[in-house]
Each structure stands twice: as structure tokens, then as C-alpha cells.
Chain A
Amino acid sequence: MSTKRVETAEKYVGRPIDRLDGAAKTTGEARFAAEHRFPGLAHAALVHAAIPRGRVIAVDDAAARAVPGVIDVLTHENAPAMKPARKPSMMDISSMVSGTSVNYLATDEVHWNGQPMAVVVAETPEAARYAASLVRLTYQELPARVDFAAEEPNAVPQKSSMIFEAKADKGDAIAALAAAPASVDLRFTTPPHSHNAIEPHATIAVWDGDRLTVHEGSQGLAWMRKHLSFRFGVPEQGIRMLSPFVGGGFGGKGSVWAGTLLAVLAARATGRPVRLALTREGVYHTVGGRTPSTQRVALGARADGAMTALVHTSVSRTGRVGGGPESITSASRHLYAAENIHLRQNIVELDLLPNTFMRAPGESIGTFGLESAVDELAWELGMDPIELRRRNEPERDPVSGVPFAHRMLREAYELGAERFGWSERVPEAGAMRDGRWLVGMGVATAYHPSMRMMAHVAVRLSADGGVVVRCGFHEMGMGAATAQAQIAADELGVPLEAVRVEYGDTDLPPGPIAGGSTQTASVAASLIDACAKLKRSVHALARRAPGSPLRGRRLEELTARDGGLHHAGGGETYAEILTRAGRDHLETETKAGTLGFMVRMLRDRRRYVKAASGAHFCEVRVDRDTGEVRVSRWLGVFDIGRVINAKTAASQLRGGIVMGIGLALTEETQIDHRTGRVVNASLADYHVPVHADVPHIDVHCLDDPDPTMPLGLVGVGEVGITGVGAAVANAVRHATGKRVLDLPITLDKLL
């Protein structure tokens, strides 16, 4: 690299740069959590409860202990103590990452069917798994409530929190609905879903006295470390969590679940490094998924399409031992200029594994209800569904009256209609055919609120011109490191190759959680600050240096480019400046205080409504005899503010759409309504979309910066899945004349 000037005329931000971890991931070099080797590594397997609620009154582990290679069988009768989880509090977000409140192996209580009640530790994974199958538990069963459909009428109003409001009222929507010249009043259901990241959760825990090393694929390293520190009563600084590669998360790796805790516990109990790699079935039994929901969406309108009433109420479930509410009506708060709005969210607690966040919690299923109902209102009015949306596009946030930070839904629909060929859609249902296929076209709006979290970022600039960005953020496939490298290269005016990004390690300055589509913006904001500080430090070295072309120049006159600072008449490289000053490197770190950050965030939320949004265009083909639905074409036009990496952003949006196609057509975690057991706990029985289910997906980003966000960027991880379920349902409605209200849209519902 040396002191040579490298031209950096073109900015990196916005370009379709290949992923920096591409080589590692395509050659098999990338090591995921379960793939690290330690001398003396022992292997753990879980024994799951076979009843939904009750107590274990007897443990028979004799046969398991007799298996050659078994080191120990841990149950509530012999396991070392772990501190119970703290009560969740907004003041300490790390308290909220407890997947459940159960103190595993410290209690004989069974809270859901599948709860881990014992851990077998053995010399080999085969011995552990076999021995686990031999542990016999005797239960005293208690009555359990596990049937969402049966318990749903007993739901109670959800409480509002600092961040999420559970209800909204504007005018009198119920009365307006009754008086509306045109209306629809529909009841939707959506089933539970499972993340099914292809990497099942795995933990390797290694104790060295009170020091603990944990390898685990995680979306929330800093909070998880803090949680482990509390549960095991050891200092946070003594715990190192490593997570350089995460084999998919989607929300499922954002909390501390049983596997993590029990691996650490088993390692402590046996004095051995322990690997606990969950089976696929084990993931279903110990890691929460998306709540099911029932939703009522009722819309009233005048004959010209102007909405007079929007009613959206929902019921979701939590577990009695954890889980949280979802903002199912969130999009209904922001999308339409209805004169009267009534939103309510309700909760029912069941004796099931608690729910957790899964890609766009709330919005992914809430937009299915809302956007299906809007489509049905268009049918009722005999109006084009895009035109109906256009007529109801609000100028300000409909409920709060607060301005939108950025809103381009009109543009998204206009561009999308043109690119997709919407004008070729014959308005009547069932009118478009291709042989035995009934062809349908549908649209739906995508919407996901945008937020920022805290991130600490350190940037080091070396005398050889190299830049190292250090932040404990998470890479689950979003291309996070690539995006941050592009930003750092532009901010400092260095070639991309000069930037190295370190992430996925608690030894680094703590990053934000990779959730809520917040990570890129959160890290970018701190990274830009750190780069600005660094440039000030460099400038301070140069401006008084005799012989420097920057001598006497103010920083405002200078541009960072070509590996250094320059003005119209000249400049020099960072390497030259540092070398002259006898400095090996310069380093800065941004630190944000929690309280100040929270205050600023809440104040910001009162000033603007921020979101990513978009318009989905879907074409389906429905077999007129079998009811088989094939998605044949897709276009998504998105407003995600400024695009950092055109390649990875499009991929992430496509990924959301693919998961949405699963939500629309095939995905359902089936729970036995008598026993509470997940009965399709495998990838053979839970159908995620495969190659053959996914057509070419055309993605277009409007690429217009949101002026209120760092670099104008808005998070992109979740908006893609929102609206997809409705776009498919609306296309099916157009193809067949049938409105499917209950996901997934399986063929039996079309016959």
C-alpha cells in the first residue's frame, strides 16, 4: 500500500460491490459456531418434556448413564444452580433477551411440550444422542391451555410500551363503518411460523476458571453476554462471545434460548468444553417462533374510494413463561388517510414455548390482513386497487399528524405499474387464462418502521494507509461488513481494499442488535462520526507541519480522497502525514450513552414518522383443476432511502419476498391442539420455499435519501416480507374470484 496515492474518484456507496466474505463462504473456509475444535470437547444432547404442563416426579437415567462414553446426565436433581432470569425492563434491554423465564434444570416444572428437562453430556455426539433417548421422565400432568383457536376469544388488551403503542383512535371508526356507503369487514387468521435458519442453533462453551468463551451464532452479542454474566454470576468482562458467521437468524438468534444456557451450564458442571448443537427438531422445541394471529380488518369508504373508517384489531399469543406482543396493527396506523381509525391489539397467554420476533414481527402478518382488506374494498367499489390506494395516500401520518420523514409510495406504485405491465391486467376475476392456468395479478403495500440503536465503533488508520473498522455487529447474511467497508472507504477517501472490518466478537466495541432493520443505519451513524474525528486528528497533525501541502488549511477546505486529505491545489496521503509525524497509527472510538441515546430517539420519534416502504406486484397461476398456486412473476419497488450496496440490498429484499411467498403459500408450524406439541418439527414437514417455488424477482429501489437518517439510508432487512402475503392473496383473488382469509393459501382452500 505504502505512501502511493490511489485514485478513489468514484464513491463506493451505492455500487453493487461483491460481498467481502464471498471467498470464505464459497470455499467452505467460513467456520460457524459448531465448527470450532477444542481438545477434550464433549457433546451434549437435550431431553425434551413430552407433556405441555406439570412436574417431573421421577427421573430414571440409569440406562442413559450405562451408555459407554456418557459423562453425565444433568437434571433438576443434580445440576448446578443458575440465577433466574431478570424481569424484563426497558431500562436494561439485555434483560429482554431472555427467550423464556424458565430456570432450566433448576426446576421440575414443565411449562411447554418440548421444554428441555435433562442434558446428557458424552464423549461423542452419537453417544449423547442415544443416551438422551434412554432417559425416562415420569410426570404429574396439570391442565394446560395450548389451543390458540379455542383460547383466542379470552384475549386481553395488550399494554402499550415506550416504543410500541398497542392501540390508536381517531374519530369514531365504528360509527363511520356502519354509516359507510361501501364497506368490507373481514376476519383473517395467520398460523405460527418458524424461522428455520438453515444453521440450527449451536453453542460451544469453554470455561477457564471464571472466564467463559462462547461460540454461537448470535444477533445480539452484547446483550447476550450481559445476560450470561448475570445468569452465571461471573463478570461480563470475563466472557467472550464469538460469532463471526451466523447461518441465518431472522430474529431466531436474537434472544438467549435454552441451548445456550444449557451448554454453558453443562460445561461448568462437567469441567469440559461442551458443544450443544440443536437438532432441527430441537430448534422447534426450544426456540420460539412467530405468533399466530386472528385479525379483523373492516374498512368503510365513500363511492369515490375515500376511506371513512379503518378498523384493525388483532389477537396474538405469548407463552405463560415469556414472549412478547407484536405490533400487528402497526401498518394500519401509517398507511391510509382514513377519516376515522380504530386499532386494538390483544394477547392471550398459552402453555406453549413463548413466541419471539421473526422477520418483521407484527407487520409481516398485519399487512396480510390490512392489504387483503384494501384489495377487497377495491373489488367492492369496482375500482383499481392501485387507484384506491392512491386516493387514500395521506400527506401526514394519519393518526399522529406528524410529518413523514420520507414517503414515496405514490412513486413506487407508478413506477411499478409501468414496469410490471399493470395496464394489461383485465379487471374481472378469472378473466386471464393460459391453458389450464388461471392467471391473476395483485398488488400490496410493504411498510416497516425505521429505527436506530446505539453502536460503538472504533476506527484505526495506520501509517501504511490501512483502515480497520471495529464493531461487535452481526453478519447473518445481510452483507453488513461489506456495507460498512464501503461507507468507511468513502468517508476517509481510501480504496475499499484498504479497509478491513472486524465484527461478531464481544472483544470489539459493542454493536447494536441485528434486529428491527436497525443495524446498518446504527453502525453507519457511529462510523461516520468516528471517521470525522479521525480526519480531525489527521488534520491536526498536518496543518502545522512544515512542508505539508495542508499547512495552514482549515479542515472544511479539504476533501478526503485518494487515500488522504486534499484541496484544489494539492494534498497528501494519510500515510505521508502519519509517517512525518512519527505516528504508527491513529485510532478513534465513538461512544454513546444509553440514556442520552434513548432520549434523542424518543424525541426524534415525535418529530417524524420514519419507515421503509414499497409496492409489491405479483402474478400467480392457479391450476383450475387442482388449485395449485404458482407465483410466476414478481416486482417489488422499494423506498429504502439511499442504497448502500445495490447488490446486497436487492438480495435482502428478495430474501424477504421469498420468505413472504412461504408465508403466503406453504408455511405453518402445526401445533397439536390437545398436547401442545409441534407436530411438523422438520424441514420435510414445514415447507419453506425451494428453488422451484421462486420465480425471478425483479427488485427496484427508488434510491432517494431519507434526510433524517445517516447517509439517508433506511433499514432493509424486514420491509421485503411485509405485504407479500397480501400481494399473493390478492393475485389469487383476481385469478379465481376467491378471497382466502386464512394463511397459508393451500390448494384445499381454492377447491
Chain B
Amino acid sequence: MTEIRIRVNGVAEALDVEPRVSLLDALRDHLGLTGPKKGCDQGACGACTVLADGVRINACLALAVQYADTEITTIEGIAKDGNTHPLQDAFVRHDGFQCGYCTSGQICSAVAMLREHAAGMPSAVTEPDDPGELDETEIRERMSGNLCRCGAYNGIVDAIKDVAAQGAS
């Protein structure tokens, strides 16, 4: 067992975990934060997406011990000061989910994606002289690591577009 300190959603947590325990299992089974989901446990579906120091990662591909002294944000910590994040409301308004199992990952991923875009990070579909507008093609490309089997993609893209247009992220 290894003792680590980790900050999750602004709260300092002490964890005593085996080195082989994934960050995802640590969050779900040890801390009871079941918002991040396990869809494949091998980095293929994105349902486990959380933010590590603001950067989106697949928590299933991360070992908890690697993230000692890191600030982790899960879907449970996306809301600020008791107010839901604009993306959470937009997902409901645009019906950006059905079963809800991929939703935590989609929202966390979108939060970080908007920041990446704002920071000027290009994607595979960004042309070299692209002015950087976040159009549907860009959103789809940048969100393609998050699978939704219910097929709520249209609603998800609409929700992200809506929030991006409001300038909130």
C-alpha cells in the first residue's frame, strides 16, 4: 500500500492505495466519487474523463499514485459555488445525453476542450492559417475521444456551441 495525498474537487484527500489501483478506481471505489464512469477501462471510450490540474485525462489509464499532489476535478466538482456549470445546463436543454453514462466524461472533456481551444491549441482539422473559430467540425474532432452509444452527439455539439457562444468556459 502506498499513501498519497491528492486534491479532489478542492478537498485534500489522503489515500492508502496499492500502486496498481487506477485513478478511476481510486475515485469511484475509494472516495465514492462515482461521477466518472468506467466504460472500457482501456482508454477507448472517454467515460472516465476527469481534469488533472485542468487538463483532461482518461482516469482509467492513470494510476492513482502518479497523481499525488495533483488537483483532480470530477463532474462532481464542475459546479461552482452551488451553481451548475453552464455546460451542465446546456446538456439538459439540448438533450445532450440519453442514458447518462457517458455524460460526466463528455462534460468534463468539453470543459477542458474549450480551454484548450481558447489557449490556441490546434486540432487535427485546424488549418494552418485558421482563425480558430470553434465551428461544429472543430467541436466534433476535439470531442471524438468521448463515445456516446445512445447517439446524443447532435445535442452535445449544440450544447457546447451554445456555451462557447456565451463565452463561458
Partners in one complex: yes
Q: Give the shortest distance, in Å, between A638 (CB) and chain B (any CB).
A: 15
Determine the chain B residues whose CB is within 8 A of the CB of A657 once the complex forms. Answer: 151
Q: Does A694 contact B (CB under 8 A)?
A: yes
Pairwise interchain contact B150-A248, C-beta atoms closer than 8 A: yes
Q: Which of A35, A247, A696 contacts B28 (CB 8 A)?
A: A35
Q: Which of A281-339 contact B (CB under 8 A)?
A: none
How far apart are B18's CB and chain A's nearest CB, in angstroms?
Answer: 6
- Contact among B84, B89, B101 with A199 in the assembled complex (CB-CB below 8 Å): B101
B101 pairs with A659, CB closer than 8 A: no
Selected from A23, A477, A683, the residue in CB contact (under 8 A) with B40 is A683
Contact, CB under 8 Å: B98 / A477: yes
Kindly list chain B residues whose C-beta atoms are within 8 Å of the C-beta of A31: 34
> Which residues of B from 63 to 110 have beta carbons under 8 Å from A?
74-76, 78-79, 84, 88-89, 91-93, 95, 97-104, 107
Using CB atoms, name the residue of chain B closest to A250.
Answer: B149
Query: Are the CB atoms of B152 and A19 closer together than 8 Å?
Result: no
- SS class of chain A's interface: helix, strand, loop or mixed? loop
By a beta-carbon cutoff of 8 Å, the part of chain A in contact with chain B is 18-19, 21-32, 34-35, 37, 124-126, 195-200, 245-250, 277, 279-280, 476-479, 647-648, 650-652, 654-659, 682-684, 688-692, 694, 696-697
Cβ–Cβ < 8 Å partners of B78 in chain A: 27
Q: Are B155 and A26 in contact (CB under 8 A)?
A: no
Bound complex: CA A526 to CA B91 (Å): 32
Closest to A195 in B: B149
Give bound CA distance, A29 to B103, whole Å: 11
A25-B97, A691-B157 known; 14 new pairs, CB 8 Å cut-off, are A27-B78, A28-B33, A28-B34, A28-B75, A28-B104, A126-B18, A198-B149, A200-B38, A250-B149, A280-B42, A477-B100, A652-B98, A690-B145, A696-B136
**What are 18 contact pairs spanning A and B, CB under 8 A?**
A18-B92, A27-B79, A28-B34, A28-B74, A30-B100, A125-B29, A198-B102, A199-B39, A246-B99, A248-B98, A248-B101, A280-B41, A654-B151, A654-B154, A684-B43, A691-B146, A691-B156, A692-B144
Cα of A214 to Cα of B32 in the assembled complex, Å: 20
B residues sitting closer than 8 Å to A (CB atoms) are: 18, 20-21, 25, 28-29, 32-45, 47, 74-76, 78-79, 84, 88-89, 91-93, 95, 97-104, 107, 136, 139-141, 143-157
Do the beta carbons of A694 and B76 come within 8 Å of each other? no
A-B contact count (CB 8 A): 172
A245–B38 CB distance below 8 A:
no
Given contacts A198-B47, A198-B99, contact A280 B154 (CB under 8 A): no
| Pair B34/A478 contact, Cβ less than 8 Å | no
A655–B40 CB distance below 8 A = no
Q: Which of B140, B147, B157 contacts A198 (CB 8 A)?
A: B147
Q: Which of A18, A277, A688 contacts B149 (CB 8 A)?
A: A688
A35 touches B151 (CB 8 A): no
Kindly list chain A residues whose C-beta atoms are within 8 Å of the C-beta of B33.
28
4 smallest CB-CB distances across A and B, nearest first, come from A28-B35, A477-B98, A658-B151, A25-B100
Secondary structure of the B side of the interface?
loop
Which residues of the other chain, B, contact A696 by a CB distance below 8 angstroms? 136, 154, 157
Determine if A691 and B139 form an interchain contact, defined as CB atoms under 8 angstroms apart.
yes
Whether A682 contacts B42 by the Cβ 8 Å rule is: yes
Of B25, B93, B150, the residue contacting A125 (CB under 8 A) is: B25
Residue in B40, B101, B155 with the greatest tally of chain A CB atoms within 10 Å? B101
- The reply to whether A692 and B104 contact each other, CB–CB distance below 8 Å, is no
Whether B99 lies near A248 (C-beta < 8 A) is yes
Docked Cα-Cα span, A705 to B88, in Å, equals: 34
> How far, in whole Å, are A478 and B75 apart by their CA atoms in the complex?
23
Residue ID in chain A nearest B34 by CB atoms: A35
A682 to B151, CA, bound (A): 18
Give CA–CA (A280, B44) in the complex, Å. 10
Cα–Cα distance between A200 and B39 once the two chains are bound (Å) = 6
CB within 8 Å for A682 and B40 given contacts A245-B100, A655-B150: yes
Contacting pair B99 A247 (CB below 8 A):
yes
Residues of A close to B145: CB separation below 8 A: 690
B residues near A26, Cβ cutoff 8 Å: 75, 84, 88-89, 91-92, 97, 100, 103, 107
Find A683's partner among B93, B147, B153, B156 (CB 8 Å cutoff): B147
Question: Bound complex: CA of A199 vs CA of B41, how far in Å?
Answer: 11
- How far is it, in angstroms, between the C-alpha of A23 and the C-alpha of B91 when the chains are bound? 10
User: Which residues of B have CB within 8 Å of A682?
Assistant: 40, 42, 44
Say whether A477 contacts B150, CB under 8 Å.
yes
B contact residues around A125 at 8 Å (CB): 25, 29
Measured between alpha carbons, how far is A32 from B100 in the docked complex, in Å?
A: 10
